[in-house]
Amino acid sequence: MYFIDLKRVEAKPVKGEAYSFVIRLRPLAGKDKRSQEFTWAKRLAAVEGDTIEITKDGKFLVNGTVVRDSLPLAAKLGKEPEYFSRRQVLKKGELYFLGDTETSYDSRYWGPVKVTQLRGKVIGGVF
């Protein structure tokens, strides 16, 4: 469980901080594969102006620095890591989020989140 300050949505989110956001995605598990709305909390890895790259072998880089070494959920999604490969400069208002674990379902798989999708800043958690 995370504690989220719903009043604290910064105009310029800070890399490394965790935020809550809403996004429409296909669920990873279950029989129903229609898009659903999820509210998630993940750590901000890249902001507008940053260059993100996912290599054909699944490495994730931000501004040329390797942040993650693999795409372990690619097979669960029925895709090869190469399917997710891309290089892009994040546009105004775009954010890239990563979970705290290598196996997180995050922006490496579904791309950028708009700053308008932010709902609050994570201020603590209980595990």
Hey, what are 122's tokens? 């994570």
Mean pLDDT in order along the chain per 10 residues (127 residues) = 58 88 76 79 96 97 97 92 96 95 93 92 66
Residue 127 pLDDT: 40
Give this prediction's pTM.
0.85
The C-alpha atoms of residue 28 and residue 126 are separated, in whole angstroms, by 24
Domain spans of the chain, in order of start: 2-125
Query: For residue 29, what pLDDT is reported?
Result: 62
First to last CA, the chain: 6
2-125, which class in CATH?
mainly beta
Residue 58 CB partners (closer than 8 Å, separation 6+): 69, 70, 71, 74, 81, 84
pLDDT value for 85: 96
User: What's residue 24's pLDDT?
Assistant: 84
127/81 Cα distance (integer angstroms) = 31
